[in-house]
């Protein structure tokens, strides 16, 4: 049943996926609890290009490892969810920012990304859908606790010291490389698979 949700997302189209995610009332599972549908819609409607997606897999709170379990046990779900989010919000590149202390999760995600590319589930023409493009870059953190904060991640991805930025502007307006950016936690994204398959109301 792998990647059924991605195929369903193409059937629904970006507007349909946005509708279901908004109706589901899914909120950020990284702690901020911001409505995911509102965040995605803001980026999708932004006329500035390109758009970027960031999956926050830094998870550096002491004793916290829920995202590690998801990444180690079902890395394909993380990649599939990122792809749905990227295609829905008009992103062609997604950055998966993972903490350096997760070597097993990193290895499994890297393998999943390579297999997805080989099978046409990432890259320049996903599932033969007329040139729909999305790809994932894996970026490893260097152990900085502050890089769990989304704007510090942006600085780190860009090659700068991982320090938070002032808000506003918010990431949906100016994120990675100062472009509109969707930033979601691993658990938030993985929930999107059930929402796409079963509908927002059921979630």
> What are the pLDDT digits (tens) for 49-70?
999 999 999 998 888 899 999 9
CA dihedral 178, 179, 180, 185 (to 10 degrees): -70
CB atoms within 10 A of CB 130: 8
In this structure, what token pair is assigned to residue 95? Answer: 């950055």
| pLDDT score for 131 | 87
Tracing tokens 């990432």 back to the chain, one arrives at 122
Cα gap 177→110, rounded to integer Å: 24
CB 87 within 8 A of CB 135: no
Q: What strands, in cross-sheet order, belong to the sheet with 181-185? A: 135-140, 91-98, 51-57, 181-185
| pLDDT score for 185 | 95
Dihedrals phi, psi of 13, to nearest 5 degrees: 80, 160
Secondary structure of the chain: what % helix, strand, coil (to 5)? 50, 15, 35
| pLDDT score for 129 | 86
Mean pLDDT, each 10-residue run in order, the chain (203 residues): 93 98 94 92 98 95 90 98 98 97 97 97 93 96 91 96 95 97 97 98 97
Q: Spell out a b/e string for 82-95, using b for 16 or more CB atoms within 10 Å of the CB, else e.
A: bbbbbbbbbbbbbb
Dihedrals phi, psi of 28, to nearest 5 degrees: -60, 130
Cα gap 203→92, rounded to integer Å: 27
CB atoms within 10 A of CB 61: 12
Q: In terms of Cα–Cα distance, which of 190, 201, 172, 197 is closest to 52?
A: 172
| pLDDT score for 18 | 98
Whole-model pTM: value is: 0.96
| pLDDT score for 61 | 83
| pLDDT score for 33 | 86
Task: Write out the E strands in the chain.
Answer: 51-57, 91-98, 135-140, 181-185
| pLDDT score for 32 | 81
């Amino acid at each position: 049943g792998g990647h059924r949700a991605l195929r369903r997302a193409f059937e629904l189209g970006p507007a349909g996926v946005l509708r279901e995610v908004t109706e589901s009332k899914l909120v950020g599972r990284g702690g901020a609890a911001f409505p995911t549908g509102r965040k995605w819609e803001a980026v999708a409607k932004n006329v500035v290009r390109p758009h970027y997606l960031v999956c926050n897999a830094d998870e550096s709170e002491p004793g916290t490892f829920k995202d590690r379990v998801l990444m180690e046990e079902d890395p394909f779900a993380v990649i599939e969810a990122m792809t749905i989010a990227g295609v829905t919000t008009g992103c062609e590149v997604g950055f998966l920012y993972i903490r350096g202390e997760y070597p097993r999760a990193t290895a499994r995600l890297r393998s999943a990304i390579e297999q997805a590319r080989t099978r046409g589930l990432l890259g320049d023409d996903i599932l033969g859908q007329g040139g729909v493009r999305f790809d994932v870059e894996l970026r490893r953190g260097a152990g900085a606790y502050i890089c769990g904060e989304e704007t510090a991640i942006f600085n780190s991805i860009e090659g700068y010291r991982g320090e938070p930025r002032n808000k506003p502007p918010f990431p949906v307006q100016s994120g990675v490389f100062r472009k509109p950016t969707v930033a979601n936690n691993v658990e938030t994204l993985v929930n999107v698979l059930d929402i796409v398959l079963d509908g927002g109301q059921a979630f």
